Structure 1
Amino acid sequence: MTARGLIIGAPRSGSGKTSVTIGMLRALTRRGIRARGAKSGPDYIDPGFHHVATGLPGVNLDSWAMSPPLLNALAASAASDADLLVVESAMGLFDGIPGTLGRSGSAADLARLYDLPVLLVLDVSGQSQTAAAIAKGFATYDSDVRIAGVVLNRLGSERHRRLAGEAVEKIGLPVVGAILRDPSLTLPERHLGLVQASEHADMIAHLDRLADMAERSLDLDAIVSLMAPLAPSDADFSDALNPPGQRIALANDAAFTFLYPHIAMHWRNEGAELVPFSPLANEAPRDDCDVCWLPGGYPELHAGKLASAGNFRAGMQEFATTRPVHGECGGFMVLGEALEDADGVRHEMLGLLGHSTSFAKRRMNLGYRQARLLSNCPLGRASDVIRGHEFHYAQITTPGNDEKLTDLADGQGNPLGAAGGRRGHVTGTFFHAIARG
């Protein structure tokens, strides 16, 4: 079995793609259809919503960070276990980085590669017929990217719907959805994007409200009829990140959540066991594990509790004397000497690396990263190139004296200098690893 799919795109972030995608996925799942969500690019929050909405794990499909064979393998895997695959675009449909053709990281790359139709979500607040000009621009910008239908979002009235909808249909694009403004459908946000699905006490109720909206405001049958078969070939997982050990102690709670679904899936498929533990519950990694992984998340929101978790701190220090420990982004911050929270309060962290970080002195760090490893570590072997992504507001206030772990460059290969840290068995980086380069 292989799925039929389409891409949900928009001119920009904030147009309503996520609400439309989640509402569609939940509504289709309630109809008994095996629908699955995917996210173009490196976003690690939206796949969690896709998972809760459908019961099937989400997946990232990133044309920059993933080699074509790995991208095909992940797309084929997702398509083999679903009837319908809905791919949510990151940012605007064509937004990516300049470089090799087809490897910009944009959702448009996926539309070209897999010949998937695009459902264009337009936020028409503050405009009416002008929506048609925007839609026409999308329809003609790239002949290899097919806009198959339009959803009008944040309409103010029936008259507003009629003016915008008739103008769009006049240029030959079907309007398959019209959504009235409704603040109750908005998902809460914070500094790294949406508040995660796992943190909502009433998440299922909210997803069902979005599904009710989709049933009411979208022509789901027409949208399904627009979908095209997805059958990638030349698939190969050889560029996936290898499991760093046989039994991996994985920090997993509200402070440590950002592990890409495709990485966890591949590690398990390769025979590794993921053994979760909660630093916020003062748990330490189990002694029968052979490596410990601290993923990113929101330790800056829980710094005081982490600082007082004595069993966690002692267990991590003992573990690191004999076995590898790796931290990414938030995990990297916790491995350091101290973390300053948003109020400027300094909290002692694990001290397994020598740097200190601050969330009070904020500066956004965002973009793709290419990292050449300077030594063997849980990410790979010395001289391996790892592709990943960095997105955080914290910054290093005290660099420490540890060995650097990587030679870092941005997505276009511009050098950023040596980065990360290594001390004994302990390593860390501010970037999230996605795949081997």
Structure 2
Amino acid sequence: MRGLVLGGTSSGVGKTVATLAAIRAFEDAGHAVQPAKAGPDFIDPSHHAVVADRPSRTLDTWLEGTDGLRRNYRRGEGDLCLVEGVMGLYDGDGSSTAMVAEALDLPVVLVVDAKAGMESVAATALGFREYAARIDRDIDVAGVIAQRAHGGRHADGIRDALPDELDYFGRIPPTPELEIPDRHLGLEMGDESQVDDNALATAADHLRVDALLETARAPPEPAGGVDTHEGTTDARIAVAEDAAFCFTYPATLERLRDRAEVVTFAPTAGDDLPDCDGVYLPGGYPELHVSELAASPALDTIGERASEGLPILGECGGLMTLSESLTTADGETGEMAGVLPAEIEMRDRYQALDHVELRATEETLTADSGGFLRGHEFHYSEASVGRDARFAFEMERGDGIDGERDGLTEYRTLGTYAHVHAESGAFDRFLDAVEL
């Protein structure tokens, strides 16, 4: 499957809208698109999935490594993969858009804000192309999509100013209907705030699909093939899936389903915990659903089953739900499952945002003692932990729960602020632990 990376000159330049318009343009031309996102984000991919009608894949060199990245890419489906970048093209020491493009050997189409420039757009793009050689990176900036560009003289001026080595792939006209509302953690999710379909179709008409398709190319094969996980198990894993638990990488669910039976449940809708051998509580927005969670029979059952030794893994929002209580920024407090000795409070600004590395200080659900895991953390909540709290990980990089440690553990329950990817091996280790 050939692919392209849509990188930006900076955050906020309009990469997501450009990506959605490109997906729509290819779909309208009869090409099935596999969307993807560089970096660890869950929110932009939710918008991709609405337009492409298939899950968006996460591509992050820190979380997955080069071969893991290539394996994850190869598991996608479609005629073409469109990868939305993260921040500016070269920004990020753990996994930048440039690192992802280089690992996959995919050309970069640069999204440039053209609302107040013409020749300067060309100068900016040329600078981004030549900067790769300056830092000795093999990054192929193939051309530009002019974001917020008018037609006529404006578009012609941008196209004419570009040097021969940079193609003009079209423009996204200034369209208020394409703006996506945001909140803490980023944009609103795709199923909450879908972009206007007519406006997206209009924007798609201004992209040069044939030129983009001709520029795309296929990445190298991953070492060791695509499938590297262990054999199947007899385990039945319950996965929370609703508005409070909506941050799940497609590759994680694929890995769980490859090796076990997966059944989903919706705590905010009043679902009880189904019969299962293990529980995965992914991240999301539990702080927006405190009253529903406090009243959910699933949390009472999770508390009971945890004390009986049921393996339970919670990431970020899952950690918050496994705690004793959760207090919103407005002061609303609800009792949570009460498995882990922590009280969670939301703050007005983020408390951690980084790629992280954790070292296991004891054998735990996702790692052997002394093992390392790489992940990502981004949260506005703060945890006040009890004096008797036990931690499974020390932080080699990142903040974790208390600045030095992550992974609150009790019984056979583990709650972390870190999100990890299936390529880390953490979910294979979880399934192995469930089978014990």
Give TM-score, length-normalised by structure 1: 0.88
**Corresponding position: 1:150 with 2:144:** yes
Deviations 1:105-152 (A, max 9, x none): 112123223321111110122333222221111110114211111111
Tell me the percent identity: 35
SS in 1 for 2:394: strand
Write the mapping of 1:112-131 to structure 2, written as runs, cut at 5 A: 112-131=102-121
Deviations 1:347-384 (A, max 9, x none): 22221111111114544310011112233333233322
CA distance in 1, matches of 2:232, 2:197: 33
Tell me: CA distance 1:89–1:386, structure 2 relative to 1, closer, same or farther (3 Å): same
Could you tell me which amino acid in structure 1 is paired with residue 27 of structure 2?
A: T
Gaps of 5+ in 1: 98-103
The answer (yes or no) to whether the contact 2:74–2:226 under 8 Å persists in 1 is no
Could you tell me which amino acid in structure 2 is paired with residue 422 of structure 1?
A: T
**Corresponding position: 1:342 with 2:329:** yes
The answer (yes or no) to whether the contact 2:376–2:418 under 8 Å persists in 1 is yes
Deviations 1:272-307 (A, max 9, x none): 1221111101222212x1011111000111112211
CA distance in 1, matches of 2:4, 2:344: 41
The answer (yes or no) to whether the contact 1:240–1:263 under 8 Å persists in 2 is no
Q: CA shift at 1:206, angstroms?
A: 3.0
**Corresponding position: 1:301 with 2:288:** yes
CA distance in 2, matches of 1:15, 1:341: 31
The answer (yes or no) to whether the contact 2:68–2:222 under 8 Å persists in 1 is no
Aligned to 1:101: none
Could you tell me which amino acid in structure 2 is paired with residue 293 of structure 1?
A: Y
- Of 298, 311, 318 in structure 2, the residue corresponding to residue 312 of structure 1 is 298
Give the total of aligned pairs. 418
Write the mapping of 1:246-325 to structure 2, written as runs, cut at 5 A: 246-270=235-259, 272-287=260-275, 289-309=276-296, 311-322=297-308, 323-325=310-312
- Of 186, 191, 213 in structure 1, the residue corresponding to residue 179 of structure 2 is 186
Aligned to 1:5: 3
Could you tell me which amino acid in structure 1 is paired with residue 301 of structure 2?
A: G
Write the mapping of 1:66-105 to structure 2, written as runs, cut at 5 A: 66-78=64-76, 81-97=77-93, 104-105=94-95
- Of 401, 414, 421 in structure 2, the residue corresponding to residue 427 of structure 1 is 414
The answer (yes or no) to whether the contact 2:25–2:207 under 8 Å persists in 1 is no
Tell me: CA distance 1:208–1:263, structure 2 relative to 1, closer, same or farther (3 Å): farther
Tell me: CA distance 1:364–1:198, structure 2 relative to 1, closer, same or farther (3 Å): same
Could you tell me which amino acid in structure 2 is paired with residue 114 of structure 1?
A: L
CA distance in 2, matches of 1:243, 1:12: 43
Q: CA shift at 1:225, angstroms?
A: 1.3
CA distance in 2, matches of 1:15, 1:219: 20
Deviation beyond 6 Å, 4+ runs, structure 1: 237-245
Aligned to 2:429: none
The answer (yes or no) to whether the contact 2:118–2:158 under 8 Å persists in 1 is yes
The answer (yes or no) to whether the contact 1:73–1:235 under 8 Å persists in 2 is no
Could you tell me which amino acid in structure 2 is paired with residue 352 of structure 1?
A: V
Write the mapping of 1:8-407 to structure 2, written as runs, cut at 5 A: 8-78=6-76, 81-97=77-93, 104-143=94-133, 144-156=138-150, 158-167=152-161, 169-170=162-163, 172-200=165-193, 203=194, 206-207=196-197, 209-215=199-205, 217-236=206-225, 246-270=235-259, 272-287=260-275, 289-309=276-296, 311-322=297-308, 323-360=310-347, 362-399=349-386, 401-407=388-394
CA distance in 2, matches of 1:428, 1:344: 23
SS in 1 for 2:64: coil
Could you tell me which amino acid in structure 2 is paired with residue 24 of structure 1?
A: A
Q: CA shift at 1:391, angstroms?
A: 0.5
Could you tell me which amino acid in structure 2 is paired with residue 312 of structure 1?
A: A
Could you tell me which amino acid in structure 1 is paired with residue 108 of structure 2?
A: V
Tell me: CA distance 1:110–1:241, structure 2 relative to 1, closer, same or farther (3 Å): farther
Give TM-score, length-normalised by structure 2: 0.89
Could you tell me which amino acid in structure 1 is paired with residue 303 of structure 2?
A: Q
